Amino acid sequence: MPGLRTCDGVPNTITADLDIVGGRGVVTAFNSHAVAPDDPLYRWHGCARRILEGVDFPAAETAGQARVRLTLR
């Protein structure tokens, strides 16, 4: 969470869709929109994606999808 607060323009509440494989997540969408790090309206996507993809998730034998809702305060 502290890392997400450093992302310029990140909203207070975000929903991240991830594909998780072997304990590592790959962000596929934020707030039901495809990741768009080059779009000026969604400039924070690249920063938030790098941070969330650095998180260790519980490892499973098969790939899975997850939706995480985060509230930054």
Q: To the nearest 5 percent, what fractions of the chain are helix, strand and coil? A: 20, 35, 40
Contact 20, 54 (CB under 8 A): no
The pLDDT, as a whole number, for residue 45 is 92
The pLDDT, as a whole number, for residue 72 is 84
List the chain pLDDT tens, one digit each, 73 residues: 788 889 989 999 999 999 988 888 899 999 998 998 788 888 899 999 999 998 888 777 778 888 888 888 7
